[in-house]
Amino acid sequence: VNLILIERAEVGDGGVVLLSDARADHLLNVLKIAVGDRVRLGVLDGPCGSGTATAVTAGTVMLRCAFAPDAPVRPRVDLILALPRPKVMRRLWAPIAALGVGRIMVTNASRVERNYFDTHVLTPACYRPLLIEGLQQARDTRLPDVSVHRQFKPFIEDDLDRLTGSGLRLAGDPAATGRAADAVGKRRDERVVLAVGPEGGWNDFERDLLSAHRFERISLGPRTLRTDTATIALLALVHHALA
Amino acid sequence: VNLILIERAEVGDGGVVLLSDARADHLLNVLKIAVGDRVRLGVLDGPCGSGTATAVTAGTVMLRCAFAPDAPVRPRVDLILALPRPKVMRRLWAPIAALGVGRIMVTNASRVERNYFDTHVLTPACYRPLLIEGLQQARDTRLPDVSVHRQFKPFIEDDLDRLTGSGLRLAGDPAATGRAADAVGKRRDERVVLAVGPEGGWNDFERDLLSAHRFERISLGPRTLRTDTATIALLALVHHALA
């Protein structure tokens, strides 16, 4: 944890915050906080700041906090992810949030098993704490928006423009030859939507639909990677190309 | 599994291979192989090829195999990894092999806990099957060499040249500003050694020692990533820059 995140409603008058849950445990047992010590804090979807411990008990920490005037900028990459198997999806929430995305759109595809959509990994109760874990790692406060799209075609045709607007659209595809750096090229000021396909790849229909909606296909090279590795690798490449 | 790997000693006269372990299970139960079907095969540290099923029983598959004349080229990136906690190290072997490295040098650093070195994740019995899993995912046959270095200074001063020779040396460092793409730049024909530091970063002594031994520091941007995410991201960036 490189940044403790708190909810806006937890900030009381004069910037006083009282913690008594896992965050207090972390401050007490990992950081060994004492009265007068300062720690980094952030308000979820709000600004970063710092808090000074004003009282410490066995299970609670009271902090007086001050925050920057503005929240950090929302990450400029949005992610479309063909739902991987639940165990992999569960493991991906935190690193995706750490790498930085504005929105995560989980979608179906021909090579996704339908019953994956009925698992608890797509419930906010599961993914919200994992996204917050990723933000705390990366010192960000911007919780990615999450939406789930059980039908690929209406998602791409009817919802995508509204959810992501204009900007560059890239689709990871092992069969492609385009490079992420070239695709971003001179468009480094735009937002990017990155689509990562299922373990077995997009089928022809999906590939054509993506092309028809302005997605450029980019490759990670000749080596086939598991979805979780490929997602992290592609997000890193796109962020690097935008930087 | 995108490629079934076999040991050289398993290839009998006339290219006959008899499988009766987890690989046979995979062929029988996942790929539903029948007599006459062909599958991709590779010889560990040898060539890729294909096998045609000549006999199939409940638990065994016999294949007649033919192989390419040459083994695939060894990946051009070597990795120095400050040992992360065992759970993370365990999870990293397969994706590292899938992304492609010639050699993995696990090292100590000031912010690595000493007792991590006594865990079974550094034994070949643990890592070899995980490396093979990564190779089978990526359709490679080249098993990375693995070496473990409990002392950072003698490793860098005395062993590194012998293990990796000349070539470009890069060290991931959140405090740096250099970009992977720029560091590789016009040196895309050389081998690269990539060093990934511990969770808390290199200390000043380690940073200076790396600089004194020609390492250029590169950054993944302002977001602090967990070691496993950073390792995958940096390997992806370096391979992308070399491609």
A32 in contact with B at a CB cutoff of 8 Å? no
Query: Does B180 contact A at CB distance below 8 Å?
Result: yes
Residues 125-154 of B with CB under 8 A from A: 137-140
What local confidence, expressed as pLDDT, does residue A189 receive? 86
Question: Cβ–Cβ of A233/B233 closer than 8 Å?
Answer: yes
Q: Which residues of A touch B98 (CB under 8 A)?
A: 223-226, 229
**How many CA atoms are closer than 13 Å to the CA of B53, on its beta-carbon side?**
18
pLDDT computed for residue B185 by the predictor? 85
A2 contact residues in B (CB cutoff 8 A): 224
Selecting from B138, B220, B237 the residue whose C-beta is nearest the C-beta of A224 gives B138
Record: contact B220-A236, CB cut-off 8 A: yes
Beta-carbon separation of B220 and A233 below 8 A: no
Reported ipTM: 0.94
Nearest CA in chain A to B98: A225
Task: Give the nearest partner residue to A98 out of B223, B237, B239, using CB atoms.
Answer: B223
- Closest CA of chain A from B147, distance in Å: 24
Neighboring chain B residues of A240 at a CB cutoff of 8 Å: 179-181, 220-221, 237
Cα B17 to Cα B7, B22, B43, B88, B236: the distances in Å are: 10, 14, 11, 35, 35
Residue pairs spanning A and B at CB distance below 8 A: 90
pLDDT of residue A197: 94
Tokens of B27: 């062929």
Q: What is the pLDDT of residue A232?
A: 97
Predicted pLDDT of residue B179: 87
A37 in Cβ contact with A72 (< 8 Å): no
Q: What is the pLDDT of residue A1?
A: 80
pLDDT value for A186: 79
| Rounded-to-integer distance, Cα B162 and Cα B160, Å | 5
What integer pLDDT is reported at residue B73 of this predicted model?
93
B179 contacts A226? CB cut-off 8 A = no
Instruction: Verify whether the Cβ–Cβ distance A236 to B239 is below 8 Å.
Output: no
Task: Decide: residue A32, CB within 10 A, 0-12 exposed, 13-18 middle, 19+ buried.
Answer: exposed
Q: What is the DSSP letter of A13?
A: G
Q: Residues with Cβ < 8 Å from B32, sequence gap 6 or more?
A: none
Report, as ranges of residue numbers, the positions in chain A whose pLDDT lies below 50.
Answer: none
Inter-chain residue contact B236 with A236, CB threshold 8 Å? yes
Using the Cβ of B236 and the Cβ atoms of chain A, whether some distance falls under 8 Å is answered with yes
pLDDT at A82: 97
Per-residue pLDDT of chain B (243 residues; tens, 9 = 90+): 889 999 999 999 999 999 999 999 999 999 999 999 999 999 999 999 999 999 999 999 999 999 999 999 999 999 999 999 999 999 999 999 999 999 999 999 999 999 999 999 999 999 999 999 999 999 999 999 999 999 999 999 999 999 998 899 999 988 888 888 889 887 888 999 999 999 889 999 999 999 999 999 998 888 999 999 999 999 999 999 998
A177 touches chain B (CB under 8 A): no
- What is the chain A residue with the closest CA to B219? A240
